Amino acid sequence: MKQNSESLKLSTNPGKFDPVAPWFDVLESVGEFVGIRFGRVSPSGGAPEWMFLSHAEYDGIGGLAHLLRERGASVGELPKITHPGRLSWWPFIRFLPTMLGSRRSLEWRQLKTVGTAGAIGNTPAAVAFHVFDEDTTAQIRRAARSAGVSVNSFLMKYLDRSIRPALANPALAIPWMIPVNLRGIVTQPDDTGNHSSYVGIRIFASEGVQDVHRRIYKAIRRREHIATWKGFDATRLTSVSIKKRLIRSNRATSQWAVGGFSNLGEWDPEKKITAPACLGDWLFAPPVLRFQAIGAGCITFQGRLSLTLQIHPELTTSTEVATEWMRSWVREIALCLPDGGQETGSKDEPQQDRNL
């Protein structure tokens, strides 16, 4: 399937080192595509311009900042972690038994699969996105605030609910990976480099948004994001063959996960960015892997919240599957909003790039 308006930027610089980059280099060597997906829909509409930046070189926040700067925007200091704490080995030591524990993966129902994986390696072909207008974006923020949760927790709950029907046993607890920005605690040579750790949570079908919020922040209070970063640090001297063995046995992360959900936060709410190549709706999704088949991401750019969803090619290459999951996600969100989240903008249906 032909890909439309894509630029692939997968570069490494041997003069730099961070504890995360070697893992993505090894993932790429075993056939995974480690490009972070970014997209821009121009103000005039049309298909997204897709761009990829290697996670061996950037994290999500850094990648978006790099692209905006490259296109003429002035982007100053990048967002820092809002949770107090410092780097130490103690969280890693305390969390090590959990990291070494057994893995349990969940089975999927048979999903529709069509065509091939894509023109560039294992680039996901099953992709869908949705952009909320400014009024609905504000309603989502108010709904989250009224529930006493973050927008991240609010969106995470309804993403979880939306993909459950595709699992063989939808009643089971679903494990998810949630990235945590460590800027302000971790320092890298470039502010756009990898500063991202994560926490792993499990969500039960019966839980509400407050339960999901508590699970996320309990993991953060336990400093699991520090533990996983120090876990990367602890593997500096492990060989490529050991890394490959851990990846193939699903032990390269703290738990097997159905997928990852990453929120890059709010960008330019005052609409100071005016560079023509930056204007429009920005899209983002984290990489997908065999042991983490769903990549869901969101950005709020100039007051408009976008959701992007992609699926690992070994699970499905069908845009219909991604579109149906996105439609369900948007519908679940809308049910929590006044008037069912009716939007005044034109993008009231999940979008897919039909050239993928």
Residue 279 domain-assigned (yes or no): yes
* pLDDT: which is higher, 85 or 350: 85
Q: What domain count does the chain have? A: 1
Residue 165 domain-assigned?
A: yes
Query: Is residue 178 included in any domain, yes or no?
Result: yes
Q: Tell me, yes or no, whether 349 lies in a domain.
A: no
Q: Report how far apart the first and last C-alpha atoms of the chain are (Å, whole number).
A: 6
User: pLDDT tens digits, residue range 89-123?
Assistant: 999 999 888 877 778 899 999 998 765 544 445 78
- Structural domain including 257 reads 7-74+89-341
In a domain, residue 2? The reply is no
pTM of the model: 0.90
Q: Is residue 80 part of a domain?
A: no
pLDDT at 9 over 50: no
DSSP string, 173-224: PEEEEEEEE-BTTB--SSTTS--EEEEEEEE-TT--HHHHHHHHHHHHHTTH
Residue-wise pLDDT tens digits, 217-249? 999 999 999 999 999 999 888 899 999 999 988
Query: Is the residue at 191 inside a domain?
Result: yes
CATH of the domain at 228: 3.30.559.30
pLDDT band at 342 (very low <50, low <70, confident <90, very high): low
